Amino acid sequence: MTGSTESGTTPAACCDDSADPAPAARPGARPDGLWTVDEHLADVLAAVGPLPAIELQLLDAQGCRLAEDVLAEGDLPPFDNSSMDGYALRTPDTVGASAEYPSVLAVVGDIAAGAGELPTVGPGQAARIMTGAPLPPGAAAVAPVEWTDGGTGTGRAADAMTAPVEGEEVRVLRPVAEGAHIRRRGSDVAAGSLVLTDGTRLGPAQLGLLAAIGRATVTVRPRPRVVVLSTGSELVQPGDPVGPGQITDSNSFTLTAAALDAGAIAYRVGGVPDDAARLRAVLEDQLGRADLIVTSGGVSVGAYDVVKEVFAEYGGVDFRRLRMQPGKPQGFGRIGPGAGVPLMALPGNPVSAYISFELFVRPVIRAMLGAEDIHRPVVRAHCPVALRSPAGRRQFLRGRYTAADGLVEPVGGAGSHLVGALARADCLITVPEDVTELPAGSEVDVVLLGG
Ligand SMILES: Nc1nc2c(c(=O)[nH]1)N[C@H]1C(S)=C(S)[C@@H](COP(=O)(O)OP(=O)(O)OC[C@H]3O[C@@H](n4cnc5c(N)ncnc54)[C@H](O)[C@@H]3O)O[C@H]1N2
Ligand code: MOO
């Protein structure tokens, strides 16, 4: 694989456009051989769209967007019921009731939540009723147990229901208004009403509502299945011994976690060595379960980069250089039979891989999900430190943003190997292509990474 010559401390010196080859002769190639960030983003987004809708069990649909309008078949609540533990009664029986002169009512039944058979409450009568239990015929209100003596015969306000007693009488200590403590049928959701619209993201409350209206399955845009693989013979897996010249594969973890964070189902495939046959075999294996394949490494100009060679065999994968730093070399296209599976080949340097993911892969995943908010939020902030940036490149420096005072500070240098600083950053500071120096205090665009 290629070795980057960056120092990590001198942003302006790390990307020398003179190293870029002559303009490519293929269709669509830019006169200077470089695409802008916006052109590349537009191209990758043009190649994907929301995945076809499928029907899923509710919990499998968490985080997905609805692909249907959902109507309620029945009412919610499905029947008039009590919002309090207490006594269902007829309100005229409580007119003028007080602690001194309570209304004394005969208790004719005990209604628990889920009760099927209900007593009829006549004049001078009440029924014990629990929260959520159906209102019995004849009753027009519920007195919470605290408004009664709870059937104890003491005449003192009770603080809880006690066990039912044969021949119980209850003393009601104040008047109860018509409809008090009753949750009316259909007052939450009316039968036939539109409860969730196409495109709504299904979080806990929406899934709960679907369950409440009796839906066991729902039609959604599924979460894309993203296969993440790292390439490079120098890679060993975390925990394995690291031999001379070897490094631990961190990209597959960063990118798999980022894919999950973006809303995908992500499968991490560990490092694949620079061996065309092995890479081919892994890709063939993964094609069947992937909606998107994301690779890292092997997209630059190194002598052992089999990635380009193998992707070239599939045809349809374009390798290009972008006017950005880090993340200059990028590949994308489709591989495999039929329409193929979208593939995004990111540079191997860990920071380049992650920033490329945030700028290009995340929006692709979000577009596949059918999300409207496909991009990270961008805010303006003042940077108290002077910045340098290579000419002709949009630079993305790692930073920490303080919303309260609208300030952003760079973290670490510009080197695309600086994973320590990356882990302390919460945003990317953008320096435009035509700017090489920004004085301290300048206002900059800041991409908020979230979490
Ligand atoms: N002569 C040139 N050399 C390089 C150029 C160039 O234009 N001309 N571009 C540089 C830039 S910019 C980048 S970015 C890298 C991209 O190179 P590759 O995509 O081919 O990546 P590799 O060579 O495979 O690796 C680069 C670097 O990253 C480390 N790496 C790779 N995979 C992982 C991983 N899974 N986890 C952690 N670290 C990884 C690898 O060991 C290298 O140090 O090319 C520059 N060179
Ligand atoms: O800086 Mo490279 O452009 O390290 O991705």
Q: Are residues 406 and 430 in the same domain?
A: yes
> Per-residue pLDDT tens for 15-68?
444 455 444 445 566 777 899 999 999 999 999 999 999 999 999 999 999 999
266 and 335 share one domain: yes
ipTM for the whole predicted complex goes beyond 0.95: yes
Residue 169 belongs to domain spanning: 81-183
* Distance from C-alpha of 117 to C-alpha of 122, rounded to nearest angstrom: 16
Task: Tell whether the model's pLDDT for residue 303 goes beyond 90.
Answer: no
Which residue's CA is the nearest one to ligand 2's atom 1? 326
Q: Characterise 177 by phi-psi region: left (phi > 0), alpha (psi -120 to 50), beta (else).
A: beta
- The pLDDT > 90 percentage for the chain reads 85
**Residue 404 CB contacts under 8 Å (≥ 6 apart), including other chains:** none
Answer whether residue 226 shows pLDDT above 90: yes
Judge if 239 and 313 occupy the same domain: yes
Residues contacting residue 359 through CB under 8 Å, at least 6 positions apart:
37, 41, 324, 327, 396, 447
Residues 33 and 129 in one domain: no
Q: What is the structure's pLDDT at 316?
A: 84
Smallest Cα–Cα separation from 331: which of 365, 290, 367, 297?
Answer: 297
257 vs 330: CA distance, rounded Å: 20
253 lies in the same domain as 340: yes
Residues with C-beta less than 6 Å from any ligand 1 atom: 1-2, 4, 19, 230, 232, 234-235, 247, 249-252, 296-302, 305, 326, 328-329, 347-350, 352, 416
CATH of the domain at 439: 2.40.340.10
Q: In this structure, are residues 131 and 113 in contact, taking their beta carbons and an 8 Å threshold?
A: yes
Residue 27: what pLDDT?
A: 55
Mean pLDDT (whole number) for 288-306: 89
pLDDT at 305: 75
Q: pLDDT class for 212, splitting at 50, 70, 90?
A: very high
pTM (two decimals): 0.85
pLDDT digits (tens, 9 = 90+) for 129-164: 999 999 999 999 999 999 999 999 999 999 999 988
Q: Judge whether 3 lies within some domain.
A: no
Please choose from 248, 300, 304 the residue to mutate so as to test ligand 1's pocket, defined by most ligand atoms within 8 A of CB.
300
Which pLDDT score, from 0 to 100, does residue 7 have? 33
